Structure 1
Amino acid sequence: MTSHMVSATVAGTWTLGDLTVNRIGFGAMRLTGSAAFHQGTPSDRGQAIGVLRRAVELGVNHIDTAAFYFSRLRSANELINAALSPYPDDLVIVTKVGPARDAGGEWVTPARPDQLRGQVEENLRQLGRDHLDVVNLRLMGQESISEHFGALAELRAAGLVRHLGISGARPQHLAQAQEIAPVVCVQNPYGIAAPGGDEMLRECAAHGIAFVPFFSIAGEGREAGAVKAEHDQVDAVARAHGVSSAQVRLAWTLQQGAHVLAIPGTGNPEHLVDNVAAGALRLTVEELQLLDSTGRPAS
């Protein structure tokens, strides 16, 4: 499959509230470092800006970011601002709040409900915007999210935030949030051979909510990046189509439901083109079953 002319529009669209996005988006975390947003060698600034601009040229209109995505020399939000402002009218920037890091990059106590406004305003400053399209509350192990989500609902009512979502959540959290304000998306780790996740996938489908997996390519590698030894089943499907294993993983993700969005991240221009092209890859029922046999437990 050639990938140099494939647009993000090929995978179809979904809506986040009243915002329409192409189902292939872009995750900005990896722009800040080679291994993860909090470690590794910072990527070349010019190349990172070029990747963001190329993504938009390829039809990407959904970018995932956060103020806590930064490394020694790079801030994801600052790179997005420098590369894309003034922003295209159809560009949807999704950020997240909850986790907190100090100036040295160390994780500190997650934000209290009364501190979430400060985090939202930090994202607004860095991105150079007067409102945020979508803000996800990133859960940090709490059983109840009502107080935190309620604080974000107040910011939505005040016009600082347009739509709300949750991240790292379980179905009970989705139910809690929906009692307070509409939820337009759920971001959870999910992918081939990833443990669990199917229950939330189904819950989102039932409510017409976007399900946005992260680590779809990285799999077990998580923040560190793609696994070094790929599963035989993934390699077999990749060889059959003449594509990379990353493209197979993304195609599998997108074929889990029309409400599933993908936000692969990279600082490599060639990988960006390949990731977008994965939206055109159609796997057969037999191939999907083969990939399911990698041991991804049912939830």
Structure 2
Amino acid sequence: MSPRTNTAAATGTWRLGDLTVNRVGFGAMRLTGTAPFDLGVPRDRERSIGVLRRAVELGVNHIDTAAFYFSSTRSANELINRALAPYPEDLVIATKVWPGRDPSGAWGWATPAQLRGQVEENLRQLGRDHLDVVNLRVPPSRRNGSIAEHFGALAELRDAGLIRHLGVSNVTSGQLGEALAIAPVVCVQNPYGIGALSEDQALLRLCGELGLAFVPFFAIAGSGREAGPAAGDSEAVCAVAHAHGVSVAQVRLAWTLRQGPHVLAIPGTGDPDHLAQNMAAGTLRLSDEEVARLTSLGRGPSGRS
């Protein structure tokens, strides 16, 4: 691989426990197909491998993945292994457990006892003897329930040396508190972006107060979620993008990074050109007025899937 250019380091670093990462990372969800969970036509294998290698050349040292990121013939974890092993010493790979998919693509949710099997699946696919960060991804149906039993099972795997650090994903502030009472937490990975709910904004601030990384997903896609950004975008976002001569996606990423030094970004793509744009978003300087205008687009409290 070519020497790194450290584009990802333009916005500084943050620590996940004892691991230092650049604030702009990479999400692996879109490496396996044009629709992330589609078992139809996969992305070109060599192109996906090239995107991963280029991301590292640009200074990415934080990759977010999961064993359930796969299409008919592509696995994100195995692509990461093929592209980057032997891994750079500073590369942090974060994965997530609790959801799972069988070979047909059908979804399921693991019991606490089954989490070890999910952790070991990630270890095998990535070719690692331990996982840097494992996030407990809470199902939508448990948004108001206890996560203590599942998080406690992960804490045991951490004590056994299979996991270095723990995080939580798709949680409420109450669930974060529940996890912290069981074991140290280094990051919270929740949906967040322009138009975020007030409860999500409050959780982001709480993470900053606690010194925890807040790692938004769907920062670009917004309400489009796995399907990608919606066809239309607000006039305010488009106006800011036009003023800077950049894409709407770059504005959304730049705004997200302005939410605090503890906020990390993990934009994902299988397109080399989009990768370059995502990395460049870290150097986009929005004015305070632009940030305030975009922040005012918040929806306020409402339901969420």
- Decide: shared fold, TM above 0.5: yes
The residue number in structure 2 matching 1:53 is 53
Aligned length: 294
Aligned partner (choices 161, 184, 187) of residue 186 of structure 2 = 184
Say whether the 8 Å CA contact 1:6–1:276 is kept in structure 2.
no
1:265 partnered with 2:282: no
Q: Deviations over 1:225-263 (max 9, x none)?
A: 011111111110011111110000000000000000000
Task: Trace 1:116-265 onto structure 2 (pairs within 5 A).
Answer: 116-140=115-139, 141-142=141-142, 143-196=145-198, 197-265=200-268
Q: Which residue type is aligned with residue 257 of structure 1?
A: G
Give me the whole-angstrom Cα distance separating, in 2, the residues matched to 1:37 and 1:296: 28
Moved more, 37-46 or 140-149: 37-46
The reply to whether residue 8 of structure 1 matches residue 11 of structure 2 is: no
Separation in 1 of the partners of 2:301 and 2:90? 36
Distance 2:272 2:216 in 1: 22
SS in 2 for 1:93: strand
Does structure 1 retain, via aligned residues, the 8 Å contact 2:6–2:57? no
Aligned to 1:28: 28
Q: Distance in 2 between matches of 1:186 and 1:255?
A: 17
Amino acid at match of 1:220: S
Counterpart residue number, 1:96:
96
TM-score by length of structure 2 reads 0.94
Aligned to 2:112: 113
| Offset of residue 102 of structure 1 | 1.0
Q: Distance in 1 between matches of 2:131 and 2:166?
A: 10
| Match status 1:282 vs 2:285 | yes
| Post-superposition offset of 1:35 | 2.0
Long gaps (5+) in structure 1:
none
The amino acid across from 1:202 in the alignment is: R
Structure 1: distance between partners of 2:148 and 2:183 = 10
- Distance in 2, matches of 1:238 and 1:298, equals 27
Deviations 1:167-199 (A, max 9, x none): 010001100000010000000000012334112
Q: Structure 1 pair 39/192, CA: closer, same or farther in 2 (3 Å)?
A: farther
Deviation at residue 297 of structure 1 after TM alignment: 1.9
1:163 aligns to what SS in structure 2?
Answer: strand
Equivalent pair of 1:198/1:298 in contact (CA under 8 Å): no
Calculate the aligned-residue CA RMSD, in Å: 1.3
Is the Cα contact below 8 Å between 2:33 and 2:71 reproduced in 1? yes
